């Protein structure tokens, strides 16, 4: 037998069980990391790609891939349990929401500091919660999750939103509750924008108008014509993004004005910070005395006219 025939014979044989397992595990990590569907491994293009890279590798099917994913979960959960046992205290963060299928899901993450004083975090649970979503039901689910990971005596605090059922759940578990600052700030901003509700709606329509493909192309065409008349270069994509940054500036100014509605009866003039866009356009917005919503709307219209002249 010649060396060439020997090489071809070796290539025609499949890998050993150990080598096959290494490649199968790598494929499972690829599916998990890229959030690929299980049917990906049965597509003809993937099989052709795998055969080009390694003709001896027998690619697994969908059924085997499911088993590989289960095995990967068991390995990773064992490693995670080992890390959690070494932590002195663990802080949880949880949130409950309703999916598009009208099913409730509870997500729980854990954060802890290891002995090297490095921050670690991991997703501990993502499970469906049946109705009703009461504090007792959520508390029972938290106990199940903490028991699975064997961290019942390590939970230091639980960060949640301001929902009452979350407060009840934390009391049932017997752990101190930390209210999410981002959720609280979101509620404050929504409350502060109520006096300027109609202005927010108009600004949304304005943003939608300028960010639509049709109006964006018309704006680029007009600017190209203007700059060609002045002997300058044709409008570029960066200049279009610059105009969009102006629109975003309007939105920020509107939010600041709306928050100031609570002090609308104060007869004091206020000045907002100067904003410079990517193209160097400088805009400074001044808010004079605001006594009514109509007056606020008039100030908004005057501010909205300034960038038109700048562009």
What proportion of the chain, given as a percentage, has pLDDT over 90?
14
Q: Where do you find CATH 3.30.420 in the chain?
A: 87-180
Separation CA 101–CA 119 (nearest Å): 35
Give the chain's mean pLDDT.
75
Strand 90-98 and strand 155-160: pairing?
A: parallel
What proportion of the chain, given as a percentage, has pLDDT over 70?
69
Compare 130 and 310 and report the one with higher pLDDT.
130
Compare 289 and 74 and report the one with higher pLDDT.
74
Predicted confidence band of residue 242 (pLDDT cuts 50, 70, 90)? low
Q: Check whether 24 has a pLDDT greater than 80.
A: yes
At CA 215, angle to CA 209 and CA 217, rounded to 5? 150
Separation CA 15–CA 212 (nearest Å): 54
Task: Please give the structure tokens belonging to residue 154.
Answer: 């390590």
Residue 2 has a pLDDT of 61
How much is the average pLDDT of 128-136? Answer: 85
Residues contacting 229, CB < 8 A, separation 6+? none
How much is the average pLDDT of 190-199? Answer: 82
Separation CA 223–CA 307 (nearest Å): 14
Separation CA 257–CA 64 (nearest Å): 59
Residues contacting 289, CB < 8 A, separation 6+? 266, 267, 268, 269, 295
How much is the average pLDDT of 263-283? Answer: 42
Pick the range with the lowest mean pLDDT from 15-29, 96-110, 197-211.
197-211
Which residue do the tokens 């300034």 mark?
A: 306
Q: In sequence order, what DSSP letters do the residues of 83-140 get, joined into one string? A: HHHH-S-EEEEEEEEE-TTS-EEEEEEEEEE-TT--EEEEEEEEEEEPSP--HHHHHH
Task: Please give the structure tokens belonging to residue 196.
Answer: 């300027």
- Greatest Cα pair distance in the chain: 101
Predicted confidence band of residue 113 (pLDDT cuts 50, 70, 90)? very high
Q: Check whether 230 has a pLDDT greater than 70.
A: no
Q: Check whether 117 has a pLDDT greater than 70.
A: yes
Cβ 172 vs Cβ 158: under 8 Å: no
Q: Check whether 4 has a pLDDT greater than 70.
A: no
For 277, phi then psi, to 5°, come to -80, 175
Residues contacting 197, CB < 8 A, separation 6+? none
How much is the average pLDDT of 109-137? Answer: 89
pLDDT digits (tens, 9 = 90+) for 184-193: 888 888 888 7
CATH topology of domain 87-180: Nucleotidyltransferase; domain 5 (3.30.420)
């Amino acid at each position: 037998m010649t060396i060439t025939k020997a090489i071809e014979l070796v290539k025609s044989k499949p890998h050993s069980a150990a080598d096959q397992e290494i490649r199968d595990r790598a494929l499972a990590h690829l599916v998990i990391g890229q959030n690929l569907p299980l049917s990906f491994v049965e597509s003809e293009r993937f099989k052709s790609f795998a055969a080009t890279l390694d003709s001896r590798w027998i690619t697994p099917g969908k059924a085997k891939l499911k088993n590989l994913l289960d095995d990967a979960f068991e390995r990773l959960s064992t490693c995670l349990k080992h890390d959690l046992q070494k932590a002195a205290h663990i802080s949880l963060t949880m949130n409950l929401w309703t999916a598009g299928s009208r099913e409730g899901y509870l997500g729980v993450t854990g954060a802890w500091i290891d002995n090297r004083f490095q921050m670690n975090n991991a997703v501990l649970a993502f499970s469906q919660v049946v109705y009703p979503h009461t504090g007792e039901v959520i508390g029972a689910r938290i106990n199940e999750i903490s028991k699975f990971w064997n961290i019942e005596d390590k939970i230091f605090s639980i960060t949640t939103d301001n929902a009452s059922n979350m407060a009840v759940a934390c009391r049932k578990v017997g752990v101190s509750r930390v209210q999410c600052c981002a959720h609280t700030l979101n509620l404050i901003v929504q409350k502060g924008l109520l006096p300027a509700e109609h202005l927010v709606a108009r600004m949304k329509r304005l943003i939608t108008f300028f960010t639509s493909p049709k109006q964006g192309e018309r704006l680029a065409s007009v600017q190209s014509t203007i700059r060609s008349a002045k002997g300058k270069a044709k409008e570029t994509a960066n200049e279009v993004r610059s105009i969009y940054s102006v629109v975003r500036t309007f939105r920020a100014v509107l939010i600041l004005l709306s928050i100031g509605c609570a002090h609308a009866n104060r007869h004091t003039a206020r000045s907002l910070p100067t904003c410079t866009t990517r193209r160097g356009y400088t805009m400074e917005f001044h808010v004079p005395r605001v006594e009514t919503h109509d007056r606020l709307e008039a100030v908004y219209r005057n501010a909205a006219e300034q960038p038109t002249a700048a562009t």
